[in-house]
């Protein structure tokens, strides 16, 4: 009698595990600030972007790919030349996130690591072309203007672009320091002689 009870409990437990596994594969959650793109094994990537909440894909046919749509920071170091042929090392600080409606296109062309694959190359190319229009002195005084001119495509929104840590070549830095020293120390001497 006890053996029959254990056998029936085992069968019930196995059936419950199979049903639970099926239900688990038939649900997925999209957390706040995330979006999902559906990959269908027969049709490919669907053009529909799924919002936050619990959703029901077709088990073993559809697979959700979750994207984080929060703003994410990225630092891109760039070495380029200015209009007056000075070497400039600039770190470009970027806050970006994907355009939700463009996620299927982003997934098919770039994949999930879009920010690490696309942003450094795009921003480096754009920044080099922009920096070449400014001389070294203008890069210091007009950093905000240059930051606003850096934009990107590929379905990404650049929320904040900042030029940080601009450093110049050794010759330019020494010449600037020497010029500052000369104006600081020579100005009082010329005023004394008056």
SS3 assignment, position 74? strand
The average pLDDT across 176-194 equals 53
Question: Is a pLDDT exceeding 70 seen at residue 41?
Answer: yes
| Dist. CA 185–CA 118, nearest whole Å | 49
| Dist. CA 158–CA 92, nearest whole Å | 12
| Dist. CA 73–CA 115, nearest whole Å | 9
Q: What is the pLDDT of residue 66?
A: 92
| Dist. CA 80–CA 132, nearest whole Å | 8
Residue 192: pLDDT band with limits 50, 70, 90: very low
| Dist. CA 111–CA 156, nearest whole Å | 13
Question: Is a pLDDT exceeding 70 seen at residue 186?
Answer: no
Q: What is the pLDDT of residue 38?
A: 94
More confident residue, 150 or 141: 141
Q: What is the pLDDT of residue 37?
A: 94
More confident residue, 186 or 149: 149
Q: What is the DSSP letter of 102?
A: G
70, 73, 67, 77: which is closest to 120 by C-alpha? 77
Residue 139: pLDDT band with limits 50, 70, 90: low
The average pLDDT across 11-30 equals 78
57, 23, 52: which is closest to 38 by C-alpha? 57
* 88-123 pLDDT tens trace: 778 888 888 888 888 998 888 888 787 777 777 777
Structure tokens at 127: 């920044």
The average pLDDT across 54-80 equals 87
Q: Which residue has the tokens 């007056």?
A: 84
List of domains in the chain: 28-68 (no CATH), 72-172 (3.30.479)
The average pLDDT across 26-46 equals 91
Strand-pair partners of 92: 76, 163
The average pLDDT across 76-89 equals 76
pTM: predicted TM-score of the whole model, two decimal places: 0.62
58, 129, 153, 2: which is closest to 10 by C-alpha? 2
């Amino acid at each position: 009698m006890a053996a029959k009870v254990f056998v029936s409990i085992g069968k019930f437990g196995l059936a419950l595990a199979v049903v639970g596994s099926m239900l688990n594969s038939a649900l997925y959650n999209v957390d706040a600030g995330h979006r999902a793109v559906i990959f269908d094994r027969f049709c490919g990537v669907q053009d529909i972007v799924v919002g936050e909440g619990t959703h029901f894909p077709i088990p073993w046919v559809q697979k959700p790919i979750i994207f984080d749509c929060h703003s994410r920071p990225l630092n891109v170091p760039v070495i380029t030349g200015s209009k007056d042929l000075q070497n400039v090392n600039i770190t470009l600080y970027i806050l970006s996130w994907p355009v939700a409606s463009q996620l299927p296109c982003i997934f098919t062309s770039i994949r999930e690591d879009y920010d690490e694959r696309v942003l450094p190359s795009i921003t480096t190319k754009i920044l080099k072309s922009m920096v070449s229009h400014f001389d070294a002195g203008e890069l210091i005084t007009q950093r905000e203007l240059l930051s606003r001119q850096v934009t990107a495509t590929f379905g990404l929104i650049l929320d904040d672009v900042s030029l940080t840590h601009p450093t110049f070549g050794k010759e330019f830095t020494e010449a600037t320091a020497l010029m500052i020293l000369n104006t600081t120390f020579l100005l009082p001497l010329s005023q004394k002689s008056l």
